[in-house]
């Protein structure tokens, strides 16, 4: 199980931009490509995490 700490939440840095769902989805996609590229994934989320998980297939 992987739990992602989105920008500006939890212990991650607070940025000056990048707070749209698509920005979180792009950051998540980058993390997944880098860390878990060769694995089959099932994404789940609640609230913002669910919006990110649902938008992930459309993010390059």
List pLDDT tens digits, range 18-60. Answer: 788 888 888 888 998 899 888 888 888 999 999 998 887 766 6
The whole-number pLDDT of residue 34 equals 92
The percent of the chain in helix, strand and coil, each rounded to the nearest 5, is 45, 0, 55
Q: Domain limits of the chain?
A: 1-60
Pair 54, 46: CB distance under 8 Å: no
């Amino acid at each position: 199980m992987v739990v992602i700490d989105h920008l500006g939440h939890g212990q991650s840095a607070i940025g000056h931009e990048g707070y749209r769902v698509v920005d979180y989805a792009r950051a998540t996609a980058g993390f997944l490509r880098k860390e878990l590229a060769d694995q089959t994934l099932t994404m789940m989320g609640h609230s913002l995490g669910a919006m990110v998980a649902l938008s992930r297939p459309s993010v390059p």
